[in-house]
Amino acid sequence: MTTLDNLPGVATAAMLCSLNISVWEGRKKDKGIEQEIADNKGARSKRATSVHKHLFVGCSPLEDIKSLRGEARIWLNKHTLEWNTPWRLIPTAIYFEIMQEAANFQTRFDKLVKEFERVYSVEISKQAFERGAMFDRDEYPKVEEIADKFKFSINLTPVPLSGDFRVDIGNQALKELQERCEADTQARLKTAVADAWNRVKEQVEWVIDRMNAVIDHDPDAVEEIREYDDAGNVIKLDVKKKRRPKLHESMLDQGLETCSLLRDLNVTNDPDLEEARRMLEKALVHVDMKSLKESPELQNTTKNAMQAIKNKFAF
């Protein structure tokens, strides 16, 4: 079990970060339509239904901001380890890389917000046509207020350790606080380590699954394709040969990317995790997809290498 005692410099090897992105969703609760539905369906409770209307239908500038929010969160999750929502564990070894990329995301975010602000009035006019009788101009914030509804920031804080308390309380209370802090940090650290191991596990099992699919494929096997009517009766039956399972370059690319990320994400210097990372990298680094698709021998070799990792580390 990983503990703080056997993790030299854990507090200097990593820090905590949180990515805070506020995006105006362009939605509003419609109590009128809620009541209309409740009346039509005979519902007595006001909580029986909940209706939110979209104030912007087909508004690309707003959707672009939402897409960037998702992209930024996926990026941060990939390059950091789970800690305690919204906090993530970031290795100090990649601190500057993380901050630079976060700055790039913020620049893109601010640019998209300014574009939405620029076209905001025009987009509202479009909604008068898109939403018909549901359109109400008073539901839209003023143009000078809209930019304040979007925020992008990344916050940093040290990994909490039991010795960080400097409060003026009794010795017993201080001891209890320190023990609680250490226990909490241990639990969060365990979560972070599990996150790193899970990335190896998922990659190994993905490759094993795909290798089994192509190795076990029978080129003469057929499958029945049925078409049903509304009553559930078969109205059409086609018999076709089963398609050969496909292998994609992304399987190898993501595997090697995982190996690269884990060099820095192993903040506890876990020798087993490093060995698993090296075994995974060795098994994939010299494999090319064209050969893997065509060679049953290479498919079995790759599968066996993944299975060896799984067996050794008891996934």
pLDDT digits (tens, 9 = 90+) for 209-252: 999 999 999 988 888 888 998 888 888 888 888 888 999 999 99
Confidence at residue 9, expressed as pLDDT on a 0 to 100 scale: 64
Q: pTM surpassing 0.85?
A: no
Element (H, E) at 132: none
* Residues facing residue 53 across a β-bridge: 28
Q: For 66-86, write each residue's pLDDT tens digit.
A: 999 999 999 999 999 999 999
CA distance 304 to 315: 15
| Contact residues for 132 (Cβ-Cβ < 8 A; gap 6+) | none
Residues of the chain with pLDDT under 70: 1-9, 46, 162-174, 177
Confidence at residue 192, expressed as pLDDT on a 0 to 100 scale: 94
Q: Which of 302, 273, 144 is nearest to 210 (CA)?
A: 302
The mean of the pLDDT values for the chain is 89
CB burial of residue 4 (10 Å; 0-12, 13-18, 19+):
middle
Report the DSSP pairing between strands 81-84 and 27-29. unpaired
Confidence at residue 99, expressed as pLDDT on a 0 to 100 scale: 96
* Alpha helices (runs of H) in the chain, residue ranges in sequence order: 10-13, 31-41, 60-79, 95-130, 143-146, 171-215, 249-265, 271-284, 289-294, 296-312
At residue 223, φ and ψ (nearest 5 deg) are -135, 150
Confidence at residue 2, expressed as pLDDT on a 0 to 100 scale: 45
- State the sign of the Cα–Cα–Cα–Cα dihedral 254, 157, 180, 264: positive
CA distance 151 to 146: 11
* Residues facing residue 16 across a β-bridge: 89, 157
Both structure tokens of 114 = 């300014």
Element (H, E) at 6: none
- State the sign of the Cα–Cα–Cα–Cα dihedral 69, 74, 77, 83: positive
Element (H, E) at 82: strand 81-84
